[in-house]
Amino acid sequence: MGKFEIKDTFILNGEPFKVISGSFHYFRTVPEYWRDRLEKLKALGCNTVETYIPWNLTEPKKGEFNFEGFCDVEKFIQTATELGLYIIIRPSPYICAEWEFGGLPAWLLKDRNMRLRVSYKPFLDAVEDYYKVLLPKITKYQIDNGGNIILMQIENEYGYYANDHEYMKFMSDLMKKYGVTVPLITSDGPYHESYRGGYAEGAHPTGNFGSKTEERFDVIKDYANGGPLMCAEFWVGWFDHWGNGGHMKGNLVQSTEDLDKMLELGNVSIYMFEGGTNFGFMNGSNYYNELTPDVTSYDYDGILTEDGQITEKYKKYKEVISKYVDVPEVEFSMDIKRKAYGKLECKEKVSLFSVVDDLSTPVHLPYTVNMEELDQSYGYILYRSRLHSEAGIAKLKLWETADRANVFVDENPLITLYDHELDEEHNIPMEKFLACSQPAQMLAGKFMMERGLTPETAAAAIGEAGLSTGTLTGLNEKFDVLVENMGRVNFGPRMETQRKGIGRCVQINGHIHNDWDIYTLPLDNVEKIDFNKEYKEGTPAFYRFTFDVKEKGDTFLDFEGWGKGVIFLNGFNLGRFWEIGPQKRLYIPAPLLKDGENEIIVFETDGKHTDTIELKDEPDIG
C-alpha cells in the first residue's frame, strides 16, 4: 500500500513529490482514445492526470446510474494506473467546466424551491444518494488501498459562489463517510475573499488561474499553513461561445513563463491538457449581460487539440517540464489519422411537424410548463395549440421562456426570439401574420374581391376589422412554439433559474392563451424518424445523408450553408452547429464510424439548408 501526505510539500511514500498534472475530462473524449491521450500526457513529462466526474451523465435520471462508455470512470482510472500515472479526482457535484448546468443534473430543478450548493436538505439528500453509489467505485483506487488516486476535491471554486461553511463541512464529512481517505483539497479563484468563502477544515487550498503566478501563490500562502503551493487549474487557453467572433487562444510565451515559475515554486495541473468535445447537448453557458452558450468544441487551445494532435504548446511545455523532472520515452500505441470522406448529397428529408408524433407522445395541459416538470433535461420542447379565440396575432409575449423560441402559424415561421427578446412583447404586423395563415389569406382574397383592395390595403383592413369586430375569430390556425435549451448556465447565481421551455405562459393580444399539447423532444430516438412523410420548406426538418467507410479516420463535418441545429452520426449526437460561428466544423472521432454504410441526420430549426454537407480532414473551430 502507498501513502500520500501533505506537509510542507507533497510527500509520496515518504519522499517529496512535485505534482505535474494535466486536466483531461474522460467524458469529453471517446473511450477508445483515452489511452492515446494519457500516453501523450505521460510523454509530456506529467506524472499525474486530473479529472472531474459529471453528475448529470452519471445519474441522468434520479436513481438511474450510468457507468458505461463515456461514463466508465473505473476504466479511465485503470488505464491511467496501467501507464503509471497518479490521479486527482474531482467528484464534486458541481464541476463548472463549461459543462451543462456545471455538471448538476437537471432533474434537481423539478423542485421549484431548489437551492443549489448550500445547506438545503433536498439538495444535500440528492448529493448523498449520488455519493453512496459513486464513491465506492472510486475509493478502492486510492493510493492507500493499492491504487493511484492521491488527492480528491471537496467542491469546485466554492468561494466564487457562496460561503456556507456548514455546507462545506457536510461535503467533507460525506466524502469521508463513504470511504475517502486520501487528502482533500479545495480550489478557488486566487483572491482572499474566495479562499475565506471556500474554506473547509482539513482540506488543503489550491488555486485556479492562468497568469501572475508569484502574485497568486502569495495569496495562497496565507491559507496553506506552510503547505505546498499548487495551481489546480493553470488556464492555458479559453473556451468559445457562439458568436464570439473567433477561436480564443492563450499567450504561448507568457504561459510558458508562468508554467516555469509554477514548477519552480510549487505544483501544477494544466487546464486543459486536452479539452475534447461537448458532444450532445452538454455545452454549458455563461450569463452576465446576455446569454453566451458555448460551442460544441472544447478545444480550449489546449496542449493537445480537440482531436488529440500535438501542438507547438506541447513542445514548449515539454521543454519547461524537462528542467524539473526526467521526461520518459513513451511509445504511442495508436496511429490516429485524419481523413476526408468528401461531399455528401442529401438522400431524404422530412419536416419535424410531420414526424413529431412518432418522436414524442404529447402531454395535454391547459397551461405551459417547463421541460423539467415533464422529466425532460435536454434538447427541444414543442408547444402546440390552435388560435381558437384570437382574432389573429397582433401582439405576442412568451413569459419565463428559455432559451430560444421558433414560433409558427400553420407551420409557417412567424418569429424567432432569443434571450432578451423573450422578455419583451412583440408587435406582429398583420402582413406577417397573413403570410403564415392560410385561412387569413383566404379572407384577404375575399376582401380584395369584395372591396377592390390591394394586398397591402387588404391586410390593413383585416387588421382593423379583425381586431375590432372579430372577423378572424374561429379561423382555428395551428400555432406552434419550438423552444430550445441552449445549454444551462454553469456558473453563478443564475444556475437556480435554469428551467427551460415556457415556464409561465404564452400571451397573445394581451391575454393568456390556453389549451396545449406539449411534446418533449430530447431527440434521443432519431431512429424513429419516418423519412417517407411530408417535407415542407422553411420549417424545422431532418435531413438524411449516407456514406461508405472502408478505412476509418477522424473527420470533420463542414456545415457551411446551414442555419442552426444538431447533427447525429449513426444515432450518436455529435453536438450543435450554428452559422454564426466561430466553429465551422464538428469533430467526428473514427471510433464512432462503422465499416460500410454510415448515416448522418441533420436537424435544422431555422429553415436554412443546402443539399450537401462535407466531411473534411482538417478542423475549423474559428
What's the CA gap between 487 and 502, in Å, rounded?
15
- Greatest Cα-to-Cα distance within the chain, rounded to the nearest angstrom: 97
Catalytic residue of the set 157, 411, 484, 604: 157
Tally of CB atoms within 10 A around 528: 9
Nearest to 233 by CA among 189, 296, 276, 278: 189
* Residues 6+ away with beta carbon under 8 Å from 94: 102, 103, 104, 116, 117, 155, 156, 161
Query: How many residues in total does the chain contain?
Result: 622
HSE of 167, CA atoms in CB hemisphere, 13 A: 24
Catalytic residue of the set 39, 233, 306, 411: 233
SS3 label, residue 141: coil
Burial class (CB in 10 A: 0-12, 13-18, 19+), 618: exposed
What's the CA gap between 335 and 337, in Å, rounded?
6
Decide: 622 and 309 in contact? Cβ < 8 Å. no
What's the CA gap between 155 and 164, in Å, rounded?
12
Beta strands in 371-477 (DSSP E): 380-386, 395-402, 404-409, 412-418, 426-427
Decide: 338 and 476 in contact? Cβ < 8 Å. no
SS3 label, residue 161: helix
What's the CA gap between 310 and 324, in Å, rounded?
21
The yes-or-no answer on residue 464 being catalytic is: no
What residues are paired with 11 via a beta bridge? Answer: 5, 16
Please give the grid coordinates belonging to residue 12.
509520496
The yes-or-no answer on residue 157 being catalytic is: yes
Please give the grid coordinates belonging to residue 142.
486510492
Query: How far from chain centre, in Å, is Cα 500?
Result: 14
Backbone angles phi, psi at 574, to 5 degrees: -75, -20
Decide: 354 and 518 in contact? Cβ < 8 Å. no
- Catalytic machinery residues: 157, 233
